[in-house]
Amino acid sequence: MTTLTRRNLLSVAAGAAAATTLPFDHPVRAATPPAGKQANGWYRYKVGSIEVTVATDGIARFKMAEDHVTNIKRDVVNAALAEVFMEKDMMTTPYNPICVNTGAKLCVIDTGTGEANYKKSNGVGGQFVTNLAAAGIDRGAIDTVIISHYHGDHINGLLMADNSLTYPNAEILVPAPEHKYWMDDGEMSRASKGRIETNFKNVRRVFNADVLKRVKTYDWGKDVVAGITAQGTPGHTLGHVSFVIASGSDTVFVQSDVTHVPFLFVRHPDWHAFYDQDANMAEATRRKVYDMLVADKMRVQGFHYPFPSLAHVEKYGTGYREIPVAWNPII
């Protein structure tokens, strides 16, 4: 009997080239071509009587800028990536908006990077509406779009590539402080050059006249629609919002961008992603939210968590750790 050793495990790799010479005795049939296509990225679960459908918008994979984590040296970041078996210097960012059927309203929370990005990225990003359609949800049937904050990966999907409305029959509910800040000409004139200024311009591009006609603001701490409550979680942006979906005794916390990717920023809540507008406020919010999630054993749905982006949270070292909810093959 062959025993289990490193040597024979690795010899397999070396021997692979020889494999095709082995006499496989099956009658010769044409080989099946590879599918070459990922399965549809959607996943469904219940929160009480509410049905949540996670539909991935895809990912972005890029070489990290030197200041991607602004307060941590690159070799420390790379060590953290190695701990989760990820390639050094590279950032993989998943985008996972959700669709919530409360029974009364069919809602989308955040919209992904948009159809224009689907084309630009050759389908790697901008998948949200196609995955939603694969899940049997027609974008024309969406009643309410709820926006957590005004970064492009959350709002750009409001528009199709031709700038028409992605959700033509939906009202668009936006956080009042977020809307006020990004639409304020004074704030824009005082904005620092670079990322913040670019974001001001993008917000004004997306919130065109058609979109603005449908916009209604909501306040922190209020029900946005029945069953979905807004929680102010500022720092990432100044008006940034998370949501609690509640039905009966069941709840899930939709964190939006309280953390960016969990494998860096849940493990290390004191690390500052360069996306955070007020990094210290974002860190304080992060700790508050995660302490609460741990204490209440509440599940978290994270926009930048790996699909299907639903997890439990534990304390771990000086930070926390996300434990993906076991995939349920039925609902």
Partner 1 sequence: MMQLNRRNLFAGAAAAGAATALTPLMGRNANAGVAPAGKQVPGVYRQKLGSFELTQITDGAARRPVSNGYVVNISKEQAIAETEAAHYQKDQVIIPFNPLVINTGSKLVLIDTGVGPALYEKSKGAVGQLHTNMAAAGIDRNAIDIVILSHFHGDHINGLRMADGGLSFPNAEIKVPGVEWDFWMNDANAGKVSGYNKGAWGVPRGIFKGLENKVTKYEAGKEVAPGITSIATPGHTPGHTSFAIASGSAHALVQSDVTNIPQFFLRHPDWHVEYDIDPSTAAQTRHKFYDMASAEKTLVIGFHFSFPSAGYVEKDGTGYRLVPIVWNPSI
Q: Which is nearer to partner 1, 7 or 193 (CB)?
A: 7
Q: Contact between 315 and partner 1 (CB under 8 A)?
A: no
Find how far residue 222's CA is from the centre of its chain: 23
Which one of 69, 98, 170, 254 is in contact with partner 1 (CB under 8 A)? 170
User: Which segment (69-77, 155-163, 190-198, 246-254) binds partner 1 by CB under 8 A?
Assistant: 246-254
Closest distance to partner 1 from the beta carbon of 93 (Å):
10
Q: Tell the residue number behind the tokens 């603005």, with chain if given.
A: 212
Q: Which is nearer to partner 1, 200 or 257 (CB)?
A: 257
3-state secondary structure of 199: helix
Q: Which of residues 139-168 bind partner 1 (CB under 8 A)?
A: 141, 143
Closest distance to partner 1 from the beta carbon of 6 (Å):
6
CB 262 within 8 A of CB 304: yes
User: Which segment (70-78, 80-88, 151-159, 188-196) binds partner 1 by CB under 8 A?
Assistant: 80-88
d(CA 237, CA 224): 19
Closest distance to partner 1 from the beta carbon of 186 (Å):
21
Which one of 83, 89, 197, 210 is in contact with partner 1 (CB under 8 A)? 83
How buried is 13 (Cβ within 10 angstroms: 0-12 exposed, 13-18 middle, 19+ buried)?
A: exposed
Q: Contact between 182 and partner 1 (CB under 8 A)?
A: no
106-109/144-146 β-pairing: parallel
Exposure class string for 204-238: b at 16+ Cβ within 10 A, else e: eebbeeebeebbeebebeeebbebbbbbbbbbbbb
Token readout for 220 is 């922190």
Q: Contact between 29 and partner 1 (CB under 8 A)?
A: yes
Q: Provide the sign of the torsion angle of the four alpha carbons 18, 23, 26, 29, taken in this order.
A: positive
Token readout for 261 is 């990717």
- Of 167, 164, 183, nearest to 175 (Cα)? 183
Closest distance to partner 1 from the beta carbon of 108 (Å):
12
Closest distance to partner 1 from the beta carbon of 236 (Å):
14
Which one of 70, 78, 169, 202 is in contact with partner 1 (CB under 8 A)? 169
How many binding residues for partner 1 (CB under 8 A)?
A: 103
Q: x/- site string to partner 1, residues 86 to 125, per CB under 8 A?
A: x-----x-x------x-xxxx----------------xx-
Omega of the bond prior to 308 within 30 degrees of 0, cis? yes
3-state secondary structure of 63: strand
d(CA 319, CA 192): 31
171-175/98-101 β-pairing: unpaired
Q: Which is nearer to partner 1, 111 or 247 (CB)?
A: 247
Q: Contact between 63 and partner 1 (CB under 8 A)?
A: no
Q: Contact between 234 and partner 1 (CB under 8 A)?
A: yes
Q: x/- site string to partner 1, residues 267 to 306, per CB under 8 A?
A: ------------------x--xx--x--xxx--------x
Closest distance to partner 1 from the beta carbon of 274 (Å):
21
Find how far residue 28's CA is from the centre of its chain: 46
End-to-end CA distance of the chain: 43
Q: Which of residues 187-226 bind partner 1 (CB under 8 A)?
A: 214, 216, 218, 220-221, 223-226
User: Which segment (148-156, 170-178, 184-192, 270-278) binds partner 1 by CB under 8 A?
Assistant: 170-178
